[in-house]
Chain A
């Protein structure tokens, strides 16, 4: 049996899950299309993948995981009045660590462009820029969401609606995290 504070409940507003599952479906289609194209030209995809910086990809995975953990801890703090004062700082910390993803991704793109690699180079790099670019857009939206959540977390007496709003935004950020886990594995590692 779950403890009282962990009674079964939908994290966030139920409507947020329609958005999340919709987004997950869109990315799943893109993952499938990528693997379909890879099947047609496996050598080109393996050769092109060798030009990617796997260390930066792995670092960005750790960055998002750490940011996600800080947001999870902020969620816990929101629900526990004696620890509530930590929630805002933890959320801002999550946003700050998450922003490192954008900086690292910018460096990675700069590396590629400096080496003469662009979306038009070949099919692999077209999918690389589309998938990572679409994900980067989600990261930037997620960071904006975290900044909004930090103001909600600063509320000394949050209502159930505040907490549900916080949980929904946090779930969006965790989805951004796990989508990157799949993108990193698929584009940077699998061949």
Chain B
């Protein structure tokens, strides 16, 4: 069982939980003021897309997938990040 748990996926789980706490703290803190909260929000979006990428690469095992499939997923993450930040800033 120990050999099963000692994987990159377990380490990534710790990282994902830590990043969730960071995002939650950034989103909950009200002391930034409106302009600085926009910067915090952009950071929250960046962390979210980074987490999506980690889930894709290590949980869905796309890290070991054929280049085409992995590239499609990486492209999706990139487009999602671009789209969300652009809509947040300019909509």
Binary per-residue interface labels of chain B (31-66) against chain A in the complex, 1 for a CB within 8 Å, 0 otherwise: 000000100010011011101100110111110111
> With a CB–CB cut-off of 8 A, which chain B residues contact A175?
60
> With a CB–CB cut-off of 8 A, which chain A residues contact B1?
83, 86
> With a CB–CB cut-off of 8 A, which chain B residues contact A174?
55-56, 59-60
Docked pose: A181 CA to B22 CA in angstroms? 13
Give A188's nearest chain B residue, CB to CB: B27
A36–B27 CB distance below 8 A: no
A189–B44 CB distance below 8 A: yes
The stretch from A59-67, A101-109, A110-118, A141-149 touching chain B is A59-67
Docked pose: A39 CA to B88 CA in angstroms? 7
Known: A21-B72, A39-B91, A65-B13. A189 touches B24 (CB 8 A): yes
**Choice from A9, A71, A73, A181 contacting B65 with Cβ under 8 Å:** A9
Interface of B is mostly: helix
Task: Output the residue of B5, B62, B91 with the most chain A CB within 10 A.
Answer: B91
Q: Which residues of A contact B (CB under 8 A)?
A: 2, 6-11, 17, 21, 24, 28, 31-32, 35-36, 38-40, 54-55, 57-58, 61-62, 65-66, 68-69, 71-73, 75-77, 80, 83, 86, 167, 170-171, 174-175, 177-178, 181-182, 184-186, 188-191
- Write 10 A-B pairs (CB below 8 A) sorted by A numbering: A10-B69, A11-B65, A28-B83, A36-B87, A54-B27, A61-B20, A185-B48, A186-B45, A189-B26, A190-B27
- Which 9 pairs of residues, A with B, have the shortest CB-CB distance? A189-B27, A39-B91, A35-B87, A185-B48, A58-B24, A190-B41, A178-B55, A178-B52, A69-B13
